Chains A and B, each alone.
Chain A
């Protein structure tokens, strides 16, 4: 009987098994967010393709280079101060202690004991890069690359993450005071970025030739197919983005929303896909236009993202269809008021993001939050939506206004005529000719703009 297990030896074996289980669970968390982050990079591949395609060929590379540099600059900026802002400002503008998130903290680097900080930082850095890139398409063909980079660092490294600290952090004041619910970042990313973009566009002005005697003209993309493929790549990337919005908990908790309420990937899957489909249909109904139809996929996902965990899928579909139709009208509204948003970013992201946040209050008011927090309410969502819109618009307008005053916002008119690629990049996208879709601006009948839509 000498080899019979004792109570102590059984306990030791159980403890060893528990340690193995916990290590593998921590590794699974890392693996999940690692691949979410990798998939999110597809959003940037998509932005790259669709913004280059949306430009005229003389500006295609300039559109691309600012996109590439935006990612390269937002990532270190988010390391330097973005992560700290998220952890330091849940209460508003007065920081709390968050020294562990500063770039010189021991926790901000490889650590055997910490299998969370780096992978969460990476996901958030890519959220920031996505936010900064939303501005990118709207301002093509006339913004200075330097001005864009200053603006996008500010948006992707500071502005959105401040809003994230308020509306996404477990102690964020919008959550603790108003029960704010925005699981898929319709507000903290899309509304903020969209209205930041609106502020910039108001100072930047329209592309030369966009308005003649106040009447909007068609400026055709040089490669509409490239824009469509790019938009579909963004949709693919959104599965990484939205996966990164869910919390993979250790222990027996399982999946939760970023607010600590129970959910799972199945919930996200239902409504992401139904929103995607609905948005496409809504924008197609409203325009019959390929670019807007594909953009509708984004509108649809963003329109339901705030309530991705709680909507019934059919309701999500109806919300997405309706928002898709209305978002097109909002884009027309902006264009009639002299705003030249080359890719409809203000409407697709800003307007839809705000609507999405409000609709959670309309359809899901009364849903409980985690214990001790106010329930979801229409008023709370309305306040949250207003905060997100202002949080984007005010900094966007303010900083671009300063750049404009310094004569540093826009390329000179001669550069706009020749094309930024030739003047600034000394490169041509199609050096051997064969440029697709080089058309006269005023006679193009390519049906890709709002002016040609039926509704």
Chain B
């Protein structure tokens, strides 16, 4: 579904969705969201852990 090529003749960028900038932007946003989400989850985990030792 995501292939950006139909032949190997004269190929340049050939990775999935290389011809679909909108999808690539979405993937980048998803990557950023995972990073941010991980940090938020760590903050929550820390807050909960610190609450237990109060």
Contacts and interface: CB of A to CB of B under 8 A. Distances in A.
Interface string A94-122: 00000000011111011111100000000
Contacts of B43: 144, 146, 408
A440 to B, nearest CB: 23
Chain B interface main SS type: helix
Interface stretch (A74-82, A294-302, A323-331): A74-82
A146 B14 contact: no
A424 interface: yes
Contact of A144 (B13, B24, B31, B46): B46
A104 B21 contact: yes
Given A76-B35, A107-B13, A414-B54, A145 B28 contact: no
Contacts of B38: 73
Contacts of A114: 12-13
Interface in A370-422: 408, 411-412, 414-415, 418
A106 B25 contact: no
Report, as a range, how many residues of chain B touch the other chain.
20 to 34
A149 interface: yes
A229 interface: no
B38 to A, nearest CB: 7
Max count, chain B CB within 10 A of own CB: residue among A104, A113, A415:
A104
B53 interface: yes
Nearest to A144: B46
Given A80-B32, A106-B13, A411-B50, A146 B42 contact: yes
Interface of B: 11-15, 18-19, 21, 24-25, 27-28, 31-32, 34-35, 38-39, 42-43, 45-46, 49-50, 52-54
13 contacts: A76-B35, A103-B31, A106-B18, A109-B15, A110-B13, A111-B13, A111-B14, A145-B46, A146-B39, A149-B39, A412-B54, A423-B50, A424-B49
